[in-house]
């Protein structure tokens, strides 16, 4: 009886740790996906090579693993837990010293 109880407790601890680890991995993937969104936007703005990234005004673009329609875009290398990355570029002068402010937010799902 003692062995069975001890085994149950140990199994519950292992399962809880496994869920916590999986959730943490999903959060870290979301953090890096958001950072990738900022880097992508910075490259587009520096090169000014895409008509979908206007030089003035505020706008939001969405990066998805697949199924995006213009002006949003696909990034097939996104992890499976990431639903989308929302990248917002604000108007001129919204950032430090007259620069443009950028923000990026990754939406992810965690299923235990």
Return phi, psi of residue 88, to 5°.
Answer: -115, 130
Residue 84 host element (H or E): strand 82-89
In this structure, the dihedral spanned by the alpha carbons of residues 5, 7, 8 and 11, taken in order and rounded to 10 degrees, is 160
Domain count, the chain: 1
Domain range spanning residue 63?
A: 2-108
> What residues in the chain have per-residue pLDDT under 70?
49-52, 112
pTM of the model: 0.79
- Cis amide prior to 99 (ω within 30 degrees): no
Please tell me the predicted confidence (pLDDT) of residue 51.
67
Please tell me the predicted confidence (pLDDT) of residue 50.
65
């Amino acid at each position: 009886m003692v062995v069975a109880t001890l085994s149950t407790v140990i199994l519950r601890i292992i399962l809880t740790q496994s869920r916590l680890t999986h959730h943490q991995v999903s959060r870290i993937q979301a953090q890096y996906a958001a950072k990738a969104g900022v880097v992508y936007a910075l490259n587009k703005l520096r090169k000014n090579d895409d008509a979908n990234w206007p030089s003035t005004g505020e706008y939001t673009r969405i990066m998805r693993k697949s199924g995006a329609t213009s002006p949003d875009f696909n990034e097939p290398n996104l992890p499976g837990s990431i639903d989308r990355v929302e990248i917002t570029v604000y108007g001129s002068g919204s950032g430090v010293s007259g620069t443009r402010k950028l923000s990026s937010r990754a939406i992810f799902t965690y299923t235990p």
